[in-house]
Structure 1
């Protein structure tokens, strides 16, 4: 290739719980367009490691906070704009590559395997000869069709996802390398071989963290396979358990140039994954919500963190389930303001927040919040307390307000928000390090919270991302599937399926 390759960027991402009554609309994706897309990735900034490696063209990316099913209108609106912007790019330059920045667990009303649907529409514009590299969350879902439509595909290797930016850079680096080093003026870029193996395991991320075994050892094997001569990339997807499509399951994909090496590497990882199936346990100790509070009160170390896991907004929960806060405020131990101090994050309540804003810090108010979206497990909660703090301008919550009820400091928000960082609390005049108990709607603790916690328990609470996945009612996933099924009539087929190149036809069923 005589000049730098031209590469376009687009993608939509929303980890979607099909078991939540919430719906995700187009504004939730916070779309970035044109140069805003380039600005999103530090490795593409001026002076960055890949800034001058290609001509980068941003179309549109949208990353929504995990939530309920994406409405068809929202998807069609955003997909249409992606297609329109790509048409403009193709009209102005010869496009060589495309980076598909996705999560891989989006569910849209009336459509299955939505990332494939979007990529096929994109292919209709950019053509079959453009090389596509996809980057994904390891909790995404990888169907055979998705592997077929892409030429390179990779995912995170850490949960929590501390390697998100590193993974995206790897996807782009592999793409640039293929376009510049594996390309000739006569034949164009060479397309790698792709080995795909579906693994009949579907577990929540809280049982597959790479912080602990066996996830730690499983993912440690990925770079070992990737280091083999003739391999470009190796990846393991855990899948996403809170949706219900045939593609929801574990997957291994290995790409490279030597078929035997690629197939052997894929089968090694799939065998390890299947062999570990009985060893996956929750990343930390679990118990009922009531028992978690009992243990926190009895603990001699603080802050003691409790995960209210069933309504985790970063896994797809609606965020407005009031069950946990209702249980907390019903306890006699927290009625007195001088009792052990508790922070609860959080419950949306736009009307409650507005009342607190109008009353001001220090005022005593009675407000009702929550259960506007998900009232299956508990109804709206009414509280009387003192307005402790108000903050405007948060990118997710918009407005946050803290209501002190007895010794409980409940964070109420205009819109739902995850609480992952210490500043999320300190910006609200809350000191989590000096607090007895901190209860957060989350699964495994994000790095800052994990480092801050003197002790921690994961409470098994109800909600749209219930950790007891067997009781959710899956109907469309492939069966048998671990742990829904613990006996299999025959060992699963963990042999490599070599997937045709993206410009060749794909035939046969998706096993």
Structure 2
């Protein structure tokens, strides 16, 4: 039998409805944590060996692949209509008429300016063009907000099963295996269940309970011809599909329903365990300073995570580090192009008085007025070392290390020109710091940092400092949730 001809494409965005930023075409064209906009054979050559779903699909595929495009933008507010329509049109115009199947590397939490479910709208447009019978398999992020319509439009779906996302490439490889099964005439029955409560992002860490055991249960369903997926959802998206869900695939509808019902019951039973309180910045710094020295304590600024649409410039945790006179502390990555430019012009050793961070003006936050010393400068090329993105490179623009000693504090802040999530020790090492020797490391990340930071940490403490990725869900100003879904574990209904 000749090898099947499969078209492949990727269009990734995680949309935070409460972010003041937006994703237009330039945001999809630039390189940041991930590659720039790729077309044609670049899709294969420029993602080769990376922990990306499309790379995993390509590595697993025994097929004639027709690469179309792959693009992603840093999480932010909605995708502009211009970007969404142009990228969708380019995908649609490039789908050959004679393909046997289509694979799409998507996120699952995309919202465009006038479209509450970007992935479903893309699939709807593709189905209108190619018809109902073409096998279309997609891979989604663990944080997908999955709608019934998306499940219906896709022949099959695979998802990441780890947070931090160490298995993105594996999700792509599983998508190829699912597509092979369909092409061999064994298309599975499917069952979909939406979980009736929203899970806060910091509680979705799969290295702890309850998420870890739940994903072990998901993996246990894997067998020839059947599998299950669990999306913990993206609480930053304000739309009817916001929240967790489970999908099951099996040879018969009876088996698919049985698996979905079983997994649904397990997620319902874990609801109370997902309710995980967060200390204030001051409380977190005090606790960190009270712990024995020798290993750093990591404080996670979980609500100002740029990887979830945060501005990465709010100053709540930074202020607490200074006011509580934290010693041997590192903080990163604070997004402040203005401060980075001033530091580069002044040079290493210069003393500066400036308003640091707070430029986005959200949540009543303002720049932190301080006097500091320029300790080091870099071009912002960060070569990843950790398990999640190891081998890749981040471009965070001209970057400065500022040393704050106000009131007896000892805090060094990594300040970037490009917004980027601090999920790798290399963000500190590339500018001359040794994170292992710090007493406190404050990171603007929710969970992804844990793959690289947890092994060196004495303790990890998520912190409730202001930011666009609300983890205290009853404080999030939702307007478009489906009626009745609980706003947080055991929370009030929408």
Length-normalised TM-score, structure 2? 0.88
Task: Map Cα deviations across residues 89-109 of structure 1 (whole Å, 9 max, x no partner).
Answer: x15xx2111111111111211
Retained in 1: the 8 A contact 2:380–2:416?
no
Matched, 1:159 2:169: no
Instruction: Check conservation: 1:318, 1:374, Cα contact below 8 A.
Output: no
1:46-125 maps to which residues of 2 (within 5 A)? 49-51=59-61, 53-86=62-95, 90=96, 94-125=98-129
Distance 1:9 1:104 in 2: 17
Question: 1:192-271 counterparts in 2 under 5 A?
Answer: 192-227=188-223, 230-231=225-226, 233-271=227-265
Cross-structure match for 2:284: 292
1:41 Cα shift? Answer: 4.5
Matched, 1:425 2:424: no
Instruction: Tell me if the contact between 1:320 and 1:374 (Cα under 8 Å) persists in the aligned partners.
Output: no
Secondary structure of 2:60's aligned partner? coil
Deviation at 1:197, TM superposition (A): 1.3
Indicate whether 1:389 and 2:376 are aligned: yes
State the 1:192 CA deviation.
2.5
Gaps of 5+ in 2: 29-35, 382-393
**Displacement of 1:289:** 0.6
2:176 matched residue in structure 1 = 172
Task: Quote the offset at 1:26 in angstroms.
Answer: 2.1
**Shift in Å at residue 376 of structure 1?**
2.7
Q: Aligned equivalents of 2:59 and 2:430: distance in 1?
A: 34
CA–CA distance in 2 between the matches of 1:161 and 1:379?
33
From 418, 440, 443, give the equivalent of 1:440: 443
- 1:365 & 1:396 partners in 2: Cα distance? 25
- Structure 1 residues 322-331 or 68-77, which shifts more? 322-331
Give yes or no for contact 1:322–1:370 (8 Å, CA) kept in 2.
yes
SS in 2 for 1:158: coil
Partner of 2:296: 303
Residue 16 of structure 1: SS of its match in structure 2?
coil
Q: Which moved more, 1:217-226 or 1:477-486?
A: 477-486
Structure 1 length normalisation: TM-score? 0.85
Q: Give the equivalent residue in structure 2 for 1:6.
A: 5
Deviations 1:115-165 (A, max 9, x none): 011122223444433211111111101111001110010111122221111
Aligned to 2:314: 321
For 2:474 and 2:58, locate their aligned partners in 1 and report how far apart those are by CA, in whole Å: 46
Structure 2 SS opposite 1:67: coil
Q: CA deviation at 1:230?
A: 4.4
Distance in structure 1 (CA, Å) of the matches to 2:65 and 2:238: 36
Distance 1:243 1:361 in 2: 41
Distance (whole Å) between structure 2 residues aligned to residue 11 and residue 155 of structure 1: 14
In 1: Cα distance, 2:475 partner to 2:491 partner: 18
Q: Residues 194-218 of structure 1: CA distance to partner in whole angstroms, max 9, x if unpaired?
A: 1111121211232132212222221
Please identify, of 123-132 and 10-19, the stretch whose mean Cα deviation from structure 2 is larger. Answer: 123-132
Contact 2:191/2:249 (CA < 8 Å) preserved in 1?
yes
Deviation of 1:481 (Å) = 2.2
Q: Shift in Å at residue 409 of structure 1?
A: 0.8
Match of 2:402 in 1: 403
- Report if the CA contact (8 A) 1:208-1:281 is conserved: no
Secondary structure, aligned partner of 2:67: strand
The verdict on how the C-alpha distance between 1:474 and 1:438 changes in structure 2, with shifts beyond 3 A counting, is: same
Distance between the aligned counterparts of 2:248 and 2:418, measured in 1?
A: 40
Residue aligned with 1:69, SS? coil
**Contact kept? 2:200, 2:274, Cα under 8 Å:** no
Match of 1:37 among 35, 39, 43: 43
**For residues 405 and 484 of structure 1, do their structure 2 counterparts lie closer, same or farther at Cα, with a shift above 3 Å needed?**
closer
Quote the offset at 1:425 in angstroms. Answer: 0.9
* Structure-2 separation of matches of 1:399 and 1:27: 19
Check whether the contact 1:135–1:168 (CA below 8 A) recurs between aligned residues: yes
CA distance in 2, matches of 1:307, 1:481: 28
Separation of aligned partners in 2, 1:47 and 1:265: 25
Q: Compute the displacement of 1:307 (Å).
A: 0.8
Distance 1:355 1:487 in 2: 46
Gaps of 5+ in 1: 183-189, 335-339, 490-511
The superposition leaves residues 287-346 of structure 1 with CA deviations (integer Å, 9 ceiling, x where unpaired) of: 111011111112213311111112011122121222322333344x25xxxxx2111112
Q: Computing the radius of gyration over CA atoms, which structure comes out larger, 1 or 2? A: 1
Three-state SS of the structure 2 residue aligned to 1:134 is strand
**Does the aligned pair in 2 maintain the 1:8–1:57 contact within 8 Å?**
yes
Q: Distance in 1 between matches of 2:58 and 2:372?
A: 50
User: Structure 2 vs 1, CA of residues 253 and 67 (structure 1 numbering), >3 Å: closer, same or farther?
Assistant: same
Matched position secondary structure for 1:168: helix
Report the Cα distance in structure 1 between the residues aligned to 2:115 and 2:16, rounded to whole angstroms: 14
